[in-house]
Structure 1
Amino acid sequence: MTVVTLQPLGIIAGTGFADLDALGDATTKGVDTAYGTTPVTTGTWHGLPVAFVPRHGAGHVVPPHRINYLAIVRALADSGVRDVVAVNVVGGIDPDLEAGELVCVDDFLDLTHGRIGTFHDGEGAGGVVHTDMTEAYDPELRRELIDAASSAGVPVVDGGVYACFDGPRFESPAEIRLAALAGGTVAGMTGVPEVTLAVEAGLRYAALSLVVNPAAGVRPGEPITTEEIDAVLATGRPKVLSVLDELVHTRSVFA
């Protein structure tokens, strides 16, 4: 008899998603990599293996510019993950986006500075490696996410550009205008270099962005407040989890 070992689905999430209650038999352990140790929670969801990493650590203590993205991506790859679904909480650059909407992004703008954004540092046998980012967000995995949202009855915007800033401060109105001119749809602080590292590691990566506020200056006179963000997170989190639940459920049916 042939025993088939299912590859775990990787899930990386940030603000408002410090845990996944749906995981059964969940255990957390540190996964050692050449870039540091990352706690990875493994368990099952609809009978399928899942490897979950909260970007900001337990208790949301790691700010976006200090997240060890290299260790997170390498830990998931070393745990046997092939597909990674990321959840990001973002501000809406596109004025048509309302708080609470979901966007399945398909491109990015890297407006960060000082972050280590590659596994290829020019040393060792690999030398200098140039990785194609034309389809950094895997089209097939994106389609799975969008189809799962449709089945769950959750509207999702198909396509958008994630403009990544360093944080942890919010962006200035001028920075948002600059990102808008470059085609940015949503603004966040964690999507890059996470996506680029995933591509370098040979992982299929897709991201679901939850819009929690208009970005700075999009609606003049409306400041960004944590109270506003928390209120949207309270209603948006169940929608995101329902999409993930349907994605995992669909995969379990066809496993």
Structure 2
Amino acid sequence: MTAPPLAVVAGTGFYDLEALQDRSEQTVETRWGPARVTHGRWHGLPVVFLTRHGPGHTLPPHLVNYRANIRALADLGCTDVLAVNVTGSIDPDLAPGDLLCLDDFLDLTRQRPLTFFDGSGPQGVVHVDVSTPYHPELRRELLEAAAALGQPMRDGGVYAAFEGPRFETAAEIRLARLAGADVAGMTGVPEVTLAHEAGLRYAAVSLVVNPATGVGEGTEPITMSEIEAVLTRSREAVVAVLDELVHTRATFAEEDAG
């Protein structure tokens, strides 16, 4: 039996997965619009890769078609989604380059379509439980992959999703910190909740690339050059963790087949 494809969704700084072999591009048409994906094989396993912002980072976070993206992954037969979020640190103990395996979120967005269940479909209005927004088994796989590589990764973290595309104010970051947030980003929601609605297992790695506004002693403005510099030296750590996870899955698949 062929394994369902593993979905990998990433954003800023992650526009390709060089490890994918036998790759092909596809535009998937959904009720919510088109989604562009890359098919390939990673350690022999089928993978579907989706970059949120499109080729060349053409889509700002508030205009990403999250519903089309998640619906396309579900329609392609994916059951598991591994996401990568580039974030700013709200917790002052987090430094650029640190990794977190997220376990909760705050939704501070304002104007995005948040659900498949807007009352227009046959299901009507549906209230989805998100008491465990990030799937425990996928989280375990990510943490074990990081441990196998000796790559530090914090077990647990709260992601505060802001609307963007501007960076947050110091007051907004103080508010999020009071609410228990560890990192700030612009793309994690509604992606995670839509995955729940679509019946997908979802987990996310947060890569810290800068202190959020007002965090730490410095008062320098956040710049994309600062973020890109951290991405340049830290991106491979994230890809290595994903590679180890896929390699482990491939090994188990071979053992089961044998």
Q: Secondary structure at the match of 2:71?
A: helix
Letter in 1 for 2:26: K
How far is the alpha carbon of 1:91 from its aligned partner? Answer: 0.1
Matched, 1:217 2:217: no
Distance 2:227 2:42 in 1: 28
Distance 2:232 2:150 in 1: 18
Distance 1:124 1:49 in 2: 31
Letter in 1 for 2:93: D
In structure 2, what is the equivalent of residue 254 of structure 1?
252
Matched, 1:137 2:134: yes
After TM superposition, the runs of 4+ consecutive aligned structure 1 residues lying more than 2 A away are none
How far is the alpha carbon of 1:124 from its aligned partner? Answer: 3.3
Q: Secondary structure at the match of 2:22?
A: strand
In terms of mean alpha carbon deviation, does 232-241 or 218-227 score higher?
218-227
Match of 1:244 among 242, 245, 255: 242
How far is the alpha carbon of 1:134 from its aligned partner? Answer: 0.3
Match of 2:72 among 57, 67, 75: 75
The C-alpha deviation readout for 1:101-120, integer Å capped at 9, x for no partner, is 00111000000001011000
Matched, 1:33 2:45: no
Distance 1:221 1:51 in 2: 40
Matches within 5 A, 1:64-143: 64-143=61-140
Q: Secondary structure at the match of 1:143?
A: helix
How far is the alpha carbon of 1:83 from its aligned partner? Answer: 0.2
Structure 2: runs of 5+ lacking an equivalent: 254-258
Distance 1:14 1:253 in 2: 28
Distance 2:219 2:120 in 1: 50
Letter in 2 for 1:221: T
How far is the alpha carbon of 1:125 from its aligned partner? Answer: 2.5
Letter in 2 for 1:126: Q
Structure 1: runs of 5+ lacking an equivalent: none
How far is the alpha carbon of 1:143 from its aligned partner? Answer: 0.5
The C-alpha deviation readout for 1:23-51, integer Å capped at 9, x for no partner, is 00110110010001111100000000000
How far is the alpha carbon of 1:194 from its aligned partner? Answer: 0.2
In structure 2, what is the equivalent of residue 233 of structure 1?
231
Distance 1:31 1:127 in 2: 24
In structure 2, what is the equivalent of residue 169 of structure 1?
166
How far is the alpha carbon of 1:240 from its aligned partner? Answer: 0.3
Matched, 1:206 2:214: no
Q: Secondary structure at the match of 1:243?
A: helix
Q: Secondary structure at the match of 1:145?
A: helix
In structure 2, what is the equivalent of residue 13 of structure 1?
10
Matches within 5 A, 1:177-192: 177-192=174-189
- State the number of aligned residues: 252
How far is the alpha carbon of 1:128 from its aligned partner? Answer: 1.3
